[in-house]
A = this chain, B = another copy of it.
Amino acid sequence: MKKNIRTELGTRPLILVSNDDGYDSPGIYALVIALRRLGDVFVSAPATQQSAVGHAITVQFPLRAREIRRGKYFSGWVVEGTPADSVKLGATTLLPRRPDLVVSGINHGMNTSINIIYSGTVSAATEGATLGIPSMAVSIATHALDADLRAAMYYARKIAAFILAHGLPAGTLLNVNVPAVPRERIKGIAITRQGKSWWDDGFEARTDPNGRTYYWLFGKYVWDTDPLCDDAALRKGMVSVTPLHYCLTDETLFRAMQSWKLE
């Protein structure tokens, strides 16, 4: 299967690029262009839009993948699966060797605070981290598909270069969110924590032409005002870089529970 992709790999870093918007989104194309000078870039990305899929993987069915090349720089694989599937299949099987870096994005829409747990973009980078590969996710704080991605491209390349030079601890990833403004208006990089912003949400019941009810999710975003959090950085016009892991134990409650009488 690998004979048609570039196999004359030298000592350049190998970079796997994925996303959750699908291989034909403007964001992933911009990311490939942004990273191409840093190494050999291969795409392994979902065939279709996979927003808010969280960390889904496909276990009940096999996966299919097909090779793709778009122009001079964009080549790799389209996977009929989730973002996490794309990274797992790409990194272990499709690419000529294990990648040195996984980068997911550029997502249209910020992935901060609670949004992180629903995010397919972040889940692709998390999957990279589970495989022991330095990984990052990149999102821009607008849903506009015609957004100016140059600032996000600039910071994606800068932070990817830093990771390639210095590495990341095993099992961690960087979650990068970029304000939707031109690069010259960005006020620098902030190292942040995941915020506690949340969705005050509910469902609007509607009736279809056949008289049956259906429910649309809607919500208002309630911003965390902690100045060290990811959302606060974006609101200040800064690029937010948050180190994440997938250790979910609540250590405070773990200690408190030692005195619980559960039996």
Residues of A participating in the B interface, judged by any CB pair closer than 8 Å: 1, 49, 51-60, 62-65, 84, 88-89, 92-93, 114, 116-118, 123, 126, 130, 158-159, 162, 166, 168-169, 172, 188-189, 191, 193-194, 198, 201-203, 205-206, 212-217, 241-254, 257-258, 260, 262-263
Contact = CB atoms under 8 A, between A and B. Distances in A.
Contacts of A53: 53-54, 56
24 contacts: A49-B60, A51-B60, A52-B58, A54-B57, A54-B84, A55-B117, A57-B118, A88-B201, A89-B203, A92-B202, A92-B203, A93-B202, A114-B130, A130-B198, A158-B262, A162-B260, A169-B250, A169-B252, A169-B253, A172-B250, A172-B253, A191-B262, A243-B249, A243-B254
Secondary structure dominating the interface of A: mixed
A252 to B, nearest CB: 8
Given A55-B54, A262-B159, A64 B194 contact: no
A261 B1 CA distance: 41
B248 A194 contact: yes
Contacts of A51: 59-60
A248 B246 contact: yes
A193 B64 contact: no
**Closest CB pairs A-B (n = 7):** A54-B55, A54-B54, A243-B253, A245-B250, A62-B214, A243-B250, A54-B56
A23 to B, nearest CB: 17
